[in-house]
Structure 1
Amino acid sequence: MSKLIFINLPVADLPKATAFYEAVGARKNPQFSDHTGSCLVFSDTIHAMLLTHEKFRQFTTKQIADAHRSAEVLICISADSRADVDAVVEKATRAGGAADPTPTQDFGFMYGRSFEDLDGHIWEIMWMDAEAASKACQKEGAAQ
């Protein structure tokens, strides 16, 4: 069985945050959602748990970071193509997020952009041609 990842994110407004991620392309799983949290499914193995601050506090004694003021994590998810990278960032922007809070990365064989959600959490969207990346790494290793 594949390992699953559940990213737990504190959100200020659960209905707005849920709508944002649905607009970006995630699907809400009602089986694991209620008035304190929404389970958003990105793939069979990747899920984001959007939690109200009250619910999030049940899992940690640490202060909840204000992601608009400080970076607590950079979440990176893969895309199937360069065009898909751009499409996801465009969807996030149309849904109220901010495009490209981190520098765009374009190495030919790898392309990535990012968006910031309504609560300031940063998501990187990355496409990579694995074969070309492997060749580039081999070429770089041979040059050293």
Structure 2
Amino acid sequence: MAKMIFVNLPVADLKRSMAFYEALGFTNNPQFTNDQAAAMMWSDEIYVMLLTHDFWKTFTAKEIPDAKKSAQLMLAISLDSREEVDRITELAGQHGGVADCNPLQDHGFMYGRDFEDPDGHIWEPNWMDLSQVPEDLAQQDQQRQQQGATP
């Protein structure tokens, strides 16, 4: 079996969240979808499992944080071009999410924007040209950190 990842996200409104992810290009897998959860495929190896709050609570006793007020994680996805990064970020804003919830990142060889889904979960679509990554990138990051700047 191929290695896969299933990102589980608690959602307040399952149908709204399904429509949002479908608008971004995710495909619903009805085999793993019911009135409590929806399997949204990004690729054959990457699924986003949207779980109603009640169903989420059957997996953990921990409180569901309000992702619109606090950030526990950011989900980075790679895309084929800067234009694709712009397209998916703008679609997110047009379909109930928040586009550019964090500052745009443009390092020449790497480009990214962020968006929130309707529940506040942060996604980081990005594009990178690996042939253009500076050889001394790690050294540059260390220097910025020593100077108190963020990478």
Do the two structures share a fold, i.e. TM-score over 0.5? yes
Matches within 5 A, 1:1-144: 1-133=1-133, 136=134, 138-140=135-137
Aligned to 2:149: none
Displacement after TM superposition at 1:140 (Å): 4.5
Deviations 1:90-116 (A, max 9, x none): 111110110111111100000000110
Deviations 1:53-105 (A, max 9, x none): 00000111100010011111101111110000000001111101101111111
User: How far, CA to CA, are the matches of 2:120 and 2:138 in structure 1?
Assistant: 38
User: How far, CA to CA, are the matches of 1:141 and 1:26 in structure 2?
Assistant: 34
**Structure with the largest fraction of strand:** 1
Structure 1 residue runs without a partner (length 5+): none
Q: 1:32 to 1:126 in 2, by over 3 A?
A: same
User: How far, CA to CA, are the matches of 1:142 and 1:52 in structure 2?
Assistant: 44
User: How far, CA to CA, are the matches of 2:139 and 2:71 in structure 1?
Assistant: 36
RMSD over equivalenced CA pairs, Å: 1.6
SS of structure 2 residue aligned to 1:80: coil
User: How far, CA to CA, are the matches of 1:142 and 1:69 in structure 2?
Assistant: 34
User: How far, CA to CA, are the matches of 2:139 and 2:13 in structure 1?
Assistant: 52
Structure 2 residue runs without a partner (length 5+): 144-151
Deviations 1:34-70 (A, max 9, x none): 0000000001111100000000001111000100111
The number of residue pairs the alignment matches comes to 141
